[in-house]
Structures are given as structure tokens and as C-alpha cells.
Amino acid sequence: MQPSSRACIVGIAGPSGSGKTTIASLLAERLPGGAVVFPLDAYYIDQRGVPDDDINVDVPEAFDQVLILDQLRALLAGVPIQQPIYNYATHSRAPVRRNVQPLPNVIIEGIYALYWPEVRKLLTTSVFLSLDHPDCLERRIDRDARERGRSRTTVVYQYERRVRPMYDLHIHPTRQHAT
């Protein structure tokens, strides 16, 4: 399915802590007719019961790719969706979902927004945000302490062990798809 000619479907990718969510929210406020912000973080696969040390949300396989595509296509067809809500504390999906009504524009934001060819085919424009690793890490420490109750030590450990290596392997190469 190709997006309608009047819709703007924007993909915003980049490293964790680069400002994707902030940029997406600001853009949504300014697009004529309104925009749905489609956060890929909502589509993590439920990992309830998996030991914390075995959870890696920084790989493409951590996302429900089928649901991402199904719900994007529904929104683009003008159909409301029931978007999952991911709980970082329990690494699971909440039992309730967020009602999302279609709007003329969709902004897909997340580390893998430019990764999957099927998603890229839906985009009318794409952006890759760049920021140095030390700045991303400091932003992530601040966010994870404030929003997820994590300690600085835990965030640094996770960033060095999983976030940065997966960025280098999977996410950084997607910058070539930015238009």
C-alpha cells in the first residue's frame, strides 16, 4: 500500500537520546491537518519474565514488526488503531491500549524507523538525527532516571553493553535512507 498523495509520512530515526520524540512532537504540532506520532517504542515484544540481563530492546527482533506494519497501514487507510503501551519497568505490554485516530499525517519515530524496507516504502520523507555518543548517554541517563527509575550506573552499563553496540551494528547504517 502506498500512502495517499495528501498524507505526509515521516520517519525519524537516530540513536537513543538524540531527540527523536521531541522533534516528532514539535513537527506534529506544526503539520497542517494534524499528525499521529507513531512511537516504535510502543511495539516492543512482551518480555515479561525474561531475566533483565537477557533483555535486549536494542535489536530489531525486539519489535513486533508485523503489528507495526498492520497498524501503520490501518492508519494510512483511515482506520483507528488500538496501539500497545509498553511498560519499561516490567518489560511487558500494558493490558490496556491507546486509542489512536487517523490524521492526515503520520510521524514514525524510533531507533528503527528507517530500518525495515516495508516501513521505508510508506515514507514520504525521512530524517536521521545525529548526536555524539557522550551527549546521547547523558540524555539517556536523565530520561531513564526521571521516567524509568533507573540509576546512572545501570543506564551506563546498559548503554555500553547493548545500546551503543546495537546502534553501531544496526541503526547507524540506516542513515543512508534519510532523504
Confidence band (pLDDT; 50, 70, 90) for 148?
Answer: confident
Residues in the chain: 179
Which DSSP string do the residues of 105-118 spell out, in sequence order?
A: EEEEESTTTTT-HH
* Per-residue pLDDT at 7: 80
Q: In whole angstroms, what is the distance from residue 138 CA to residue 156 CA?
A: 9
CB-side exposure of 84: number of CA atoms within 13 Å? 22
Q: What is the pLDDT of residues 47-92, one digit of tens each?
A: 999 998 899 999 999 999 999 999 999 999 999 999 999 998 888 9
Element housing 92 (H / E):
strand 92-93
Residue 4: the pLDDT is: 47
Spell out the residues 6+ positions from residue 44 whose beta carbon is closer than 8 angstroms to its own.
Answer: 57, 62, 63, 64, 86, 91, 93
Identify the pLDDT of residue 6: 59
The overall pTM is greater than 0.95: no
Do the Cβ atoms of 35 and 103 come closer than 8 Å?
A: yes
Q: Is the pLDDT of residue 1 over 80?
A: no
Identify any residues that bridge with 35 across adjacent strands, giving them in sequence order.
Answer: 105
pLDDT of 3 strictly over 50: no
Residue 99 pLDDT more than 90?
yes
83, β-bridge pairs: 98
The angle formed by the CA atoms of residues 173, 176 and 179, to the nearest 5 degrees, is 145
